Amino acid sequence: MADNDNTMENVVVLGHPLLKHKITMLRDKGTGTNEFRALIEEIAMLMGYEALRDLPTEDVEVETPIETCMSPVIAGKKLAVVPILRAGLGMVSGILALVPTAKVGHIGMYRDEETHEPQEYYCKLPKGIKNRVVVVVDPMLATGGSAVDAVNLIKEKGATNIKFMAIIAAPEGLKAFTDAHPDVQLYVGQVDRCLNDDAYICPGLGDAGDRIFGTK
């Protein structure tokens, strides 16, 4: 990311104007649940388009109106999308719109309100995770604790080709993640200023889970 910072080499900040526009709409506290959900899905699709640039393809035979040829399709069975519950769920449909045959795993994590440490409560990953490209999704990378632990879990199950997509990141989370997982490519929509005393991202967008599911 930053020119002279080696620890940030595996971070891609996606600066597309469409993405920036949609993230601004997400931040707006006046954006209601329906619109917020739709924006999260659209942003995930735009980010996925970039993050999946190197997705494996395989050639299939196709008959055009002119002749038969071999032409590439996505080797979709090789992809697993893994949302960190709850907020990551909002991003899944955006990735599945791009690769409908991808498998979906789930990792449940919540942050302890006092310590801000992640607490794992669920983990179910698709079969053959070792051989898949695994795209972990969560809109928020704050302290980075949830992301670091989720990727630890996925690595423990044998996956080696892992990407992480976060819509908004704090500098603290970027550092924690790249220190812990320098081998994982991290795709970020926007890097914000800092964390506040409650470990919320500033300016951020508030509590992503609550805004997606209308729980506050």
List 57, 101, 115, 215, catalytic entry: 115
Tokens 């079969």, residue located = 127
At residue 184, φ and ψ (nearest 5 deg) are: -105, 125
Given ligand URA, ligand PRP, none, residue 92, with its beta carbon under 5 to 8 Å by kind, binds none
Residues 66-105 as x/- pattern, contact with ligand PRP by CB under 6 A: ------------------xxxx------------------
The rounded Cα 16 to chain-centroid distance in angstroms is 16
- Residue ranges binding ligand URA (CB under 6 A): 87, 140, 142, 200-201, 204, 207-209
Task: Give yes or no for residue 184 binding ligand PRP (CB under 6 A).
Answer: no
Footprint (CB under 6 A) of ligand PRP, residues 113-172? 116, 118, 138-147
Residues designated catalytic: 111, 115, 207, 210
The residues that touch ligand PRP, with contacts defined as CB under 6 A, are 84-87, 109-111, 116, 118, 138-147, 173, 199, 207-209
